[in-house]
Every structure is written in C-alpha cells, then in structure tokens.
Structure 1
Amino acid sequence: MNASAIVTFLRRLFHIRRGRRSFESPRYLLKWLLISTLIGLVAGVGAIAFYAAIHFATDFFLGRLIGYLPPSPAGEGGQTTVMSFWSATRPWLLPVVTTLGALISGIIVFNLAPEAEGHGTDAAIAAFHEGKAIRARIPLVKLVASAITIGTGGSAGREGPAAQISAGFGSILANVLRLDVQDRRIALATGIGAGIGAIFRAPLGGAILAAEILYKDDLEVETIIPALMASIIGYSVFGAWSGWQPIFATPPNLAFTSPPQLLYYVVLGVLCGLLGLLYARGFYGITHIFHRLKLPKWFKPGIGGLLVGLIGLVMPQALGMGYGWVQVSMGAGLLSLPLWVILLLPFAKILTTGLSIGSGGSGGIFGPGMVIGGMVGACFWRLCYHVFPGLPATPAPFVIVGMMALFGGIAHAPLAVMLMVAEMTGNLSMLAPAMIAVGIATILVGGTTMYTSQVPTRADSPAHRLQLSFPLLSTLSVQKAMQPLMLRFAPGQFLSQAEVLLGQHKASGVPVIDQAGNLVGVLTMADIERIPREERAQRFVNEAMHNDVLTFYPDDTLDEALEGLSTRRVSWAPVIDAEGLTGDRSVLGLISVADIVHLYRETVTKDVRRMRGLVEGTVMIETTIEPGMHLAGVALREAQLPPETLVVSIRRSSELLFPRGSSVIEPGDVVTFMVSIKAEEQLHRYLAWREAPVLPAGD
C-alpha cells in the first residue's frame, strides 16, 4: 500500500461517525483505538512531565530555599521519618516562597491563558458541554503554573492540570482530524480520563471518571470504551517511567471482616458528607471573595499565597498536595501527630486550598479533597480508638473510606472515586464498607458539587440537547429526508459556466464530482464571488471549490445531521455511500435543514408514533385505527400485513390486548407494530390506504 493510499485510508477512517451500533462496529472501534492510543500516549508523557515539574519545583523552592520537604507517599519514594518544619534551615522564608510562587503562577496564567485559572477539570467539563475547543497553549501553561503553585507550597492537586493537558490534546487532535462535534466531545472526555488515570496510576477509575464527572446524575456512556483504551495506554507510559506500585502503601492483610463495623462507616459517611459540603461552600466562598476584590487578577494569587504561607508556619501539614500526610495517617505515625493537628487539619486544608486556587492560582481540587476525606477518617479513628469496641486495629480502613466518601460524594462521581482510591491504595477489600459511606455522603451532599460546570443529566447538556429535546429525530435516518442530486459540477468546468447554472437552479452550492463519481469538494456562489469576474471564464471549478466538506451517511440519524449542519453553519451537505474505508465516495443525494424540518413535521402530523425497536434493526410504529383502513374490522390472520411486520399489542379503551390470529381490530384501537427498517415504508403505505366511502343511491 503506497503512501497516498495510506493517507486516504486514514482520512476516511477518521471520518467514520457513530452509527446505531456504535462501538459494535469494527471500523468505528478501529478508529477510536487509534485516536485513544494517541491521546493515551500524550496523557502518559504529559503526566511524566507534570510529575517531574512538581518534584523539581518542590525540591528547589521548599527543599533548597527553605530546607524543608514534606513527607511523600510510599509509592513515590516516601520518607521513613517525618521532618520537623521548624528544624528546617530557613522556615521563616515560607510566606515569601508561597507568595512568590503564587505571583509567578498568576502572571503566567493571566498573561498567556486566562482560562487556565483555577482547577482545570471544571474547564474541561465546560468545554465538553459547550463544544468549545481548548486552545493549544492551555496544556503547557497549566503544567508550568500548577507545578509552581504546588512546588512552592500551595494547596492543590495534580489531577486538574493532568486532565486539562490530555483533554487539550484530545481537543487539538479532534481539530486536526476534523472529527464531527460528537466525536470531538468524546475525544475531550477521553483525555480527561486518560490524564487522571495516568498520573494517579488508576486507569480503571480514570476511565469511569471520564464518563461520570460530566454530570451530577448521569453518565456519558459513549466515552467509557475510548477512555478505557486511552487510560491504560497513559498508565502504561507513566508506569514504565515511575514504577508500577500504588501511590499509597497499606498495612498487610487489610480487609473488611466485621459486619458490626458498618455502623462506624455509617457515621463516617455522615461526617464526610458534612465536611464535603463545607469544602465546596468554603472553597467557592473564598473564590467569590477574591473575585470581588478590585485588584489586578495576576496580583490576587499573591495575596492567597501569602496567607497560605502564614498558615503553613503554624500548620505545615496544610501545605502542598498532602499525600504524604495521608500515608503517615494510615499507620502508627498517626499517633505521633498532636491531636489538635489532626482535628484542625481538614479545616485548614479547606482554607489553604481555597486561598491557593480560589484566588486565581492553578491546580486541582481532587487531591486536596481526598486528603481532607482521609484526615476525617484518621481523626474519627483517633478519637474513637480505645473508646468504642470493635474498631479496626489500624486507622488505614477509615482513612481509605474517608477519601472515597468525601470526594466521591461532593464530586458526584462515587463509582469512579471508589475505584480510583482502591487502585491508588492497591486494596479492593474496603469497597464494601465504602459503598455505605459513599452512599450516605452523596445523599447528604444533594445537588451541591465541586464542579460547577456539571449539569444534572444529558438532557440538560448542549451535547445532547437536540437528541433528547427532539427524540423523534433520533429515530429517523438521513436516507428518509435526503433529496436526489439534481446538479453536479466537474472539477474541470469553467467557473463562469458554474455561475450560470447556480443562478438557473437557484442553488446556493453544488457538489463537485470527479470522473470516477467520487465527491472531491463543494462549490458555492460565495466561492465563485471570491474570484474576479473577468477571470471566471478562464478559471476552473477545482480552483475555487473547498475540500473540507461536511458529509453524512444514509443511516446517520437526523439529530446528528441537524447538529452537524448547525455547528458548521451550513444549510445543506452531501450524503455519500458508506461502503468501505477505501471505497468510492459516491454522492447519493443532499440533505438540508429544510428537508429535516419537512420530514419532522410530516412525521409529527401523521397519526403514527415511531419509536426505536427493542431489537436492533427494527422500529416500533404505533397508530390509531380509523374506519376504512385495511385492519378495521378484520381478523389479524386475514389482514395481509406487509412482510417483516408483527402486531405487538392492541390497546382498546383502557384495556391492553395481546394479539392472536383471531383477534379482530376495531376502529379506535391503538395498535403497536414491530417492523424491520427496510419494510417500514411498506407498512406506512399499508396504513395510509383507505377504502372509498360508499355513497347513498342517487348521490
């Protein structure tokens, strides 16, 4: 296969759109295998770069300038001993370092990419729902600014930047490959899951998060398979560099073996739900305060950084990501921490996170949320140990479940967060009690969320507004609405001739088709008008036509077609043959907005209701039987129904009848048919037939 054939194959492969079978189609699956692999590779490399940048910034700012390094989790080279902050070389320099880091981050963000402000996951969610592309500079700006924020002691997580890095690449890749609007959204969401799954070494949780985090009460099911593929690729790349061990080490033989302990996990779920509410309201309360300040935007993070540094002088445990303190709290090290530190740390972490990110700094809120939840579990164990019977011998179970419950509830991603924490700790045994705690925390949280760009369900998202607002369109195919091709141009025709033909047919544009019958472009009157009038008699169609043509296949649904037309701001598009990746792109007809609206109105005005069939390849037709119709007053065995048609039910008044061969259909009955798609038109003709009325003699 030569180079041009490969290019042709790839171009047509990436233009395969979702059909009724979606990922059951081998060609569509192959397309997403390639796209997900590319996104996963970038997610893994991006996670490596971001991880290395955080550690470089931490070693330089906190290690060399201050002489203090916070503890780190076991899976990231955790320190065996916890260093005292006041034994550092220059502890008094901490407020200077946190202020300087926040100012640098603010200057970078607000001068290069203001949309990189705050936590990146929310921005990626908003881009998904609004169908917006993420600018190419965002991933790099987010990486640098977040690494500086975290490395100088700012309280932030690394999931938001990791998500925005790979989501940004997914958006860029979608533009390069010219994917349709729905596939662009899938690519962006896939990037979210791949980035988070890679940097947290939690590929399964990251993939589920890509589908779950977009909504409060729903899932984006179509993202799961691409996100699974991309997430495992990203995890493999990152793991080959960083190692394969989980982030946190847990005590051996950790397991849930005592059902009475469920009572304690109920209480823990209540505590995590309440602290989750405080985290969300506190974080956004601080954010609103900073937004109201009449100061330059780049300066506000400096104020937040100064306050974080002052808090850090009293409680250094509230600085940075805080994963090391979670690791300490899982074992005997918890007993070495002062009780007042354990009690105040969840609240201090909420405050420092709001000051670091809510002021305009850059970083994630997922990591701090898990630290807060873990410390709630540690605090609960510390207060109840030696007081109440039957508690676990180690705080690790409460710490793990606390991480799951607090952020799983407030992020409205309970399943994904449970899986992620299980992968991050290498322990699945705590999922059973976690279900209790996460469920209770989610109920207490209600509609409050950490991600303000989330919408309740798919019906509330612009991504699915057409499909769910006009469900009838999703049951109708382009083939039913398209019009035959009445006019075509050849690439070698003169523009002057094309201009005359367009005027005669009152057409805004016409497909350009080569000698082999393949679509090569589209020529519109606007394209012709860009050529000087005196040159049109010597210039050819292929010199003015545009090659970036929106096309549809006959089996595409009308909601997809209408969204594609409205997104590209065009009124019509060619319908091409869908056979083969390297086969002909022969034009079968044209589909326009007017055609879609006409078929929609025609279908609505019929006394027929069309629904998707329960069996693939079928549809359900519901109609009211009127006098004179074929079925009126006839037993089913004598009705001579069209082939591949089955009567499913008969509704007579309030009674539901199950049809038999002897069942007689009466006028007024509502009959539901199941029919194959290819036989649907025959059924419509059958139902439309009426007997001529018998006129009285003499009329």
Structure 2
Amino acid sequence: MRHLGDFTATPRMLWIAVLAVPIGAAGAGAAWCLLRLIGLITNAVFYQRVSTELIAPGRHAWWLVLFAPVVGGLVIGAMARYGSEKIRGHGMPEAIEAILLGGSKVQPRVAVLKPVSSAVAIGTGGPFGAEGPIIMTGGALGSLLAQFLHLTADERKALLVAGSAAGMAATFNSPLAALLLAAELLLFEWLPRSLVPVASAVAVATVIRHHILGPGPVFPVTSALHLHDVDYLLAAVSGVIAALLAIVATVLVYASEDAFHRLRLHWMWWPAIGGLVIGVGGLFVPQALGVGYDVIGAELDGSISLGLVVGILVVKTLIWSLSLGSGTSGGVLAPMFMIGGALGAVEAHIFPSVGPGFWALVALAGVLGGVMRSPITGVVFALELTHRWDALLPIMIASMTAYGVSTVLLRRSVLTEKIARRGYHLSREYDVDPLEIVFVSEVMTTKIVEFSPDLRISQALAVLNDPTDDYAGWRQQLYPVVKQGTLIGVVTRGALLARTESPTGIINDELHAEPVVTHADQPLRQVAETMAVNDVSTLPVVDRRDDTKVVGVVSLPQLLDARRRDQQEARQRERVLSIKLVRPTGSARGAAAVAEDTEEPAPRG
C-alpha cells in the first residue's frame, strides 16, 4: 500500500538552497553592473564624459533635455523588436508572467537585453528605477541555471525568484524587504521549499553588496523625531492621500497604455513618443529625470524646497505614468520613492513638525502600499532604506491605510493589472487553506461496505443497485476488499458496473492490490494532493497503527465540506452575545423578563 507524503518540504530544498548561493552572487554582480552602466550612459549623454558615477542628468541645453529621451526610446524600441519583446515593461509583471505561465523559463537573451535597455532608458533621462530591470535580470540568471539542471517547475521558480530578490537586496541594501517582496509578489506561496533558497541568495547578495557598494542605508537619516499622539492620526490621513495618489498614478499608466494601443504606429515607435513626453517634462523640472536618488535623499532629509517638491510631485507623476504606458523599459520603485517623498514633503508644510523628512518617509511607505499592494514590503523597505527604526508605527499606519483604501477603490494594482490585461487571472490574496485545518476523521465515512475477495460480482452488483441499503453502498465509489479483517486491495464502482453485462466471476478478478491509502489524522490538503498526484477520487482510511485495518473511506466530494465550512464562516452572520433588559419584578412581565435572563420557566400570575 502506498502512503501520501509531504509535498511542501523535502531534502531537495537544501540542494536548491545550495544552488541559490551562486545565483545570489550573480544577482549582486548584475545589480552593480546595471548601476555602473546607468552611470556610464548618463555621463556620456548629458556630460559628454566617460564615467560610471551614478549622477542626475541635471540642467542642460533644451534640445538635449528634449531629444535625449526620444533617442533612448528609439534604441529601446529597436532592441525590443529585433531582440526580445520581453524587455518591454517595468520588470515585475514580466517576472510574474514567466513564473505563472512560462514554467519559470526565461530566454537567455533577456538576461542581457533587459539591463542594457533599462540603462539606456534611465541614462537618457527616463524617470524610472533600476529595481524592476534587476528583478527581471536576476530572475533570468536564476532561471538559466535552473534550465541547465534536471529540476521541477517549482524548483526553477525558487531559483528564478532567488535571483530576482538577490538583485533587489543588492541594489537597495534591503535583504528583508527583498525577501518579503519575493513572497508577496513573486512566489505566490509561503513555504520552506521556496523561502529558504530565496533567503540564501538574498543573504549572499547583501554581503557582497557591502563590499562593492557599502554597508550603510541608501538614504541615511539621523535627526531625532518628536512624535505626539496626533501624529499617528495624521499618518493615517497621509495614508489615505497616498492611496489616492497611487490610484491616480495607476489609472494614468493604463490610460496611457490604452492610448498607445489605439495608435496606428507599430509598437516599436511607442517608446520614442514616451521619450518625447519625458523630454517635455524635463524642460519644466529637470530634477524629475533619471533615477533621482539625489532628489529622494533631499526629500528624506528635509532639504528640498517647496517649489521644487510640487514640481516633482506633478511632473514626475505625469511623465513616469505616461511614458511607462509606452512599453519602455524601467522600474517602478524608485519613481514611487520620489513621488511618495514629494507628497510627504508637501504634507510637511501642513502637518506638525516631527523631524526633517518624517512626513516624506511616511508618505513614501503609503504610496508603496497603495501602488504595489504590498504593505508589509512597503514598511520594511522604508525602514531599511533609511534605518529610521523609530518611525515604525506611523509608517505601518500609513502603509496599511493606503493598502486598505487602494484595495477598496481599485480592483487591481499596477502590477496585476498588466497580467489581467493579457487575459490571465492573478490572485494576490493569501489565506489559510481550509483543507489544511480539517482532518480526514472529521469528514470521512465510517459506515461503509466492504467486500471479500471471493464474493461473486453478481452479488456485489446487487449491493450497488440497492438504494434501501442502510450502509448506502450504492453511493460508494470505492470498496475495500478485506480477507479475515485484513485489507488486501480495493475495487472501484466503475469496474464493477462495467461487468453488468457479464457478472460472472468474483471480486478478486477486479482487485487492485496496491491502493493509495490515507490516515484519519491527515489534513485534507494532503489528501487532495494525493488524489491529484495519483489520479484517484476516493481513498481508504486505514488505522495509523495497523495499515491493514480499514476505518473509513474519504472521497472527493467530502473535501468540499472544508470549503463549505470556510464559506459559512465568511458569509453567515449571527449574534453570539446579546444584552437583555431586566425590569423590576413587581409584575408578571417583570418576573418573566428575569426568568428569561436566568433561563428558568417564568412564574404564572
């Protein structure tokens, strides 16, 4: 007899974790190369010099600011058309699509073309981030290694996400946020088989990052905070405003995408049009161009002026949203940092003073929670970017508030909307599987019909056709075959019905001697997985101490009992406790009221 096993954690998990170590190192190296390449292109285009220093585009001649993004868009369009269309977009939806629909397989050319196209987009003034491309690039590196090995799709997924999270951790020195982002956005599960390898890659990438880019926070903030009770309430207000801004930005992205799809031009030319939008915005606010780490730093230390921050808030939101819809290559996190920080910097002129950059940090976390629908990642990201640990509570309030408001008002996030528009459903909600918390003993049938191996098939068919039988054998789909109290196999209802025309012979002729069995103390999730793996819909339940003793049968319809219970808990409303008014006992009515409260019969008269 075969027993079901544990499908979530196996010794192979350790082997996948070992494979994730070099992937983590490769992800860190890819992040470093991408940042250096962005710096190289930015310096070459805007400063006409050879340098890999990461620098803002700055103020230049109008024609350079206007047309550099257009040229960058032309290059990206050509790379996408003649190289790989997979480089279009901001990285994370593409990684999600590869995981869910492509068996976690990424083309080798994507590992090269994606970072190069993103460096061109950002280096020529694009208002994008490096994190989305590095997520796709790191994921491509993990996927390529996995494709050379004899691995399952789930194991390839773990290595793909390990590469993505490693690149993320190395870019922002944010190991915990990278791990949470992997769980919330890419893995679609919270299991040891995937989290342990991803954590291995993230740890390695972060250690390497400390040596090549430094160990400190990307945006260090050291000033003291002076929090009061009202500031926590205002953090919730900031979260609501951040959610509304996130909704506007998301709607703009997909309104822009819809507008581009209505053009009669080939999509190869769309990034150039998006580049023109960027150039026009850059003429008004040059600081909105590029990754903008210097602007984010100024927002978080409180040194940015009100006029500039309003310009950033308006122009950055517009050029990022409209140009991203053109299908160019670039990430969403750094722009969200800048836009959220700008919103908070404006709020700092209205809300009470708490400390330099405090409201910018709170709004930044709120925008992340609203745009990406990953509130925990948003909180941890904000903390790891600044090491502002004393702002944990207001940051959490803002992020969760924005997440809640965004969820109510907007059906999908900027990430999942793109997947949905390609015709696929993507769930971003995690819940405990009701099959995990209900055991076989709670739903199995114990009053069952068993056959002996020498029983005539004609007699067995009589049981199948007798709806008056107390044991309801006519409803059973699987019958244990028992000899002297010992299970020797099973026979199916279908096999017996097939013998209706020739009911000669005995049960032993149709015996299946290697049945898959389960135990009464197993959760239904493992039963469901066993049924799926073995292509069966009914299992004998045997005693844990004696595998030859049958104690019941569990079938596929009974698995719905757990689902039915879960739906009942979610939908059925009831009042558990109530308050009863006790009146003076000088009257029959009062006496009845007291008696009702004490659950005793009311006295008469």
TM-score by length of 2: 0.68
Q: Does structure 1 retain, via aligned residues, the 8 Å contact 2:247–2:371? A: yes
Match of 1:44 in 2: 28
- State the SS of the aligned residue for 1:261: helix
Q: Does structure 2 retain, via aligned residues, the 8 Å contact 1:208–1:416? A: yes
Match of 1:613 in 2: 522
The amino acid across from 2:135 in the alignment is A
Post-superposition CA distance 1:333-390 (Å, at most 9, x none): 22xx243x32242232122113332212111112212211111111111234xxxxx4
1:413 to 365, 374, 382: 374
- State the SS of the aligned residue for 1:298: helix
Q: Does structure 1 retain, via aligned residues, the 8 Å contact 2:436–2:524? A: no
Match of 1:637 in 2: none
1:269-348 aligned within 5 A: 269-334=239-304, 337-339=305-307, 341-348=308-315
Q: Distance in 2 between matches of 1:440 and 1:369?
A: 17
1:153 aligns to 2:122 (yes or no): no
Match of 2:391 in 1: 430
Match of 1:113 in 2: 84
1:321 CA displacement: 1.4
Instruction: Report the CA distance shift for 1:469/1:197 in structure 2 as closer, same or farther (over 3 A).
Output: same
Match of 1:357 in 2: 324
1:356-375 aligned within 5 A: 356-375=323-342
Instruction: Report the CA distance shift for 1:29/1:355 in structure 2 as closer, same or farther (over 3 A).
Output: same
- State the SS of the aligned residue for 1:430: helix
Instruction: Report the CA distance shift for 1:454/1:290 in structure 2 as closer, same or farther (over 3 A).
Output: closer
Instruction: Report the CA distance shift for 1:346/1:219 in structure 2 as closer, same or farther (over 3 A).
Output: farther
1:130 to 101, 115, 124: 101
Instruction: Report the CA distance shift for 1:135/1:47 in structure 2 as closer, same or farther (over 3 A).
Output: same
Identical-pair percentage: 25
Match of 2:603 in 1: none
1:158 CA displacement: 0.8
The amino acid across from 2:377 in the alignment is A
Q: Does structure 1 retain, via aligned residues, the 8 Å contact 2:277–2:322? A: yes
Q: Distance in 2 between matches of 1:116 and 1:612?
A: 49
1:252 CA displacement: 3.0
Match of 1:32 in 2: 16
Match of 1:258 in 2: 228
- State the SS of the aligned residue for 2:82: helix
1:451 aligns to 2:400 (yes or no): no
1:428 CA displacement: 1.9
Match of 1:92 in 2: 63
1:167 aligns to 2:139 (yes or no): yes
Q: Distance in 1 between matches of 2:200 and 2:368?
A: 25
Post-superposition CA distance 1:299-327 (Å, at most 9, x none): 11111111211110111122111221111
Post-superposition CA distance 1:181-226 (Å, at most 9, x none): 221222222222222122111111101110101489x756753222
Structure 2: which 5+ runs fail to align? 441-493, 496-510, 529-540, 555-605
Instruction: Report the CA distance shift for 1:112/1:429 in structure 2 as closer, same or farther (over 3 A).
Output: same
Match of 2:504 in 1: none
The amino acid across from 2:354 in the alignment is P
Q: Does structure 2 retain, via aligned residues, the 8 Å contact 1:342–1:379? A: yes
Q: Distance in 1 between matches of 2:185 and 2:196?
A: 16
Match of 2:217 in 1: 246
- State the SS of the aligned residue for 1:354: helix
2:344 to 352, 377, 388: 377
1:391 aligns to 2:258 (yes or no): no
1:146 CA displacement: 0.3
Q: Distance in 2 between matches of 1:400 and 1:107?
A: 38
Q: Does structure 2 retain, via aligned residues, the 8 Å contact 1:170–1:191? A: yes
Q: Does structure 1 retain, via aligned residues, the 8 Å contact 2:341–2:361? A: yes
Q: Does structure 2 retain, via aligned residues, the 8 Å contact 1:102–1:302? A: yes
Q: Distance in 2 between matches of 1:223 and 1:454?
A: 22
The amino acid across from 2:358 in the alignment is P
The amino acid across from 1:60 in the alignment is A
Q: Distance in 2 between matches of 1:225 and 1:215?
A: 12
- State the SS of the aligned residue for 2:148: helix
1:53 CA displacement: 0.5
The amino acid across from 1:117 in the alignment is R
When the two structures are aligned, how many residues end up with a matched partner? 457
Match of 2:170 in 1: 198
Structure 1: which 5+ runs fail to align? 1-17, 73-82, 385-389, 476-593, 596-601, 620-672, 688-699
1:170 CA displacement: 1.7
Q: Distance in 2 between matches of 1:471 and 1:449?
A: 29
Instruction: Report the CA distance shift for 1:435/1:344 in structure 2 as closer, same or farther (over 3 A).
Output: same
Q: RCO greater where, 1 or 2, for CA within 8 Å and sep 6 or more?
A: 2
Q: Does structure 1 retain, via aligned residues, the 8 Å contact 2:252–2:322? A: no
Q: Distance in 1 between matches of 2:329 and 2:524?
A: 49
Q: Distance in 2 between matches of 1:215 and 1:41?
A: 20
Post-superposition CA distance 1:581-607 (Å, at most 9, x none): xxxxxxxxxxxxx99xxxxxx99xx9x
Match of 1:569 in 2: none
2:363 to 379, 384, 402: 402
1:680 CA displacement: 4.8
The amino acid across from 1:202 in the alignment is S
1:140 to 109, 112, 115: 112
Instruction: Report the CA distance shift for 1:221/1:316 in structure 2 as closer, same or farther (over 3 A).
Output: farther
Q: Distance in 2 between matches of 1:685 and 1:283?
A: 56
Q: Distance in 2 between matches of 1:213 and 1:615?
A: 27
Post-superposition CA distance 1:90-138 (Å, at most 9, x none): 3432112111111112211221001110111110011111143110110
2:157 to 185, 190, 194: 185
Q: Does structure 2 retain, via aligned residues, the 8 Å contact 1:247–1:424? A: yes
Q: Distance in 2 between matches of 1:215 and 1:319?
A: 32
Q: Distance in 2 between matches of 1:304 and 1:175?
A: 35
1:293 CA displacement: 1.1
The amino acid across from 1:393 in the alignment is G
TM-score by length of 1: 0.59
The amino acid across from 1:124 in the alignment is A
1:475-514 aligned within 5 A: none
Post-superposition CA distance 1:535-560 (Å, at most 9, x none): xxxxxxxxxxxxxxxxxxxxxxxxxx
Q: Distance in 1 between matches of 2:162 and 2:267?
A: 32
1:442 to 403, 423, 432: 403
1:406 CA displacement: 0.7
Instruction: Report the CA distance shift for 1:61/1:277 in structure 2 as closer, same or farther (over 3 A).
Output: same
1:460 CA displacement: 6.6
Q: Distance in 1 between matches of 2:300 and 2:401?
A: 23
- State the SS of the aligned residue for 1:448: coil
1:443 CA displacement: 1.1
Calculate the aligned-residue CA RMSD, in Å.
4.0
Match of 1:682 in 2: 549
Q: Does structure 2 retain, via aligned residues, the 8 Å contact 1:50–1:162? A: yes
1:243 CA displacement: 1.2
Q: Which moved more, 1:220-229 or 1:290-299?
A: 220-229
Match of 1:20 in 2: 6
The amino acid across from 2:165 in the alignment is G
Q: Distance in 2 between matches of 1:164 and 1:97?
A: 25
Q: Does structure 1 retain, via aligned residues, the 8 Å contact 2:38–2:54? A: no
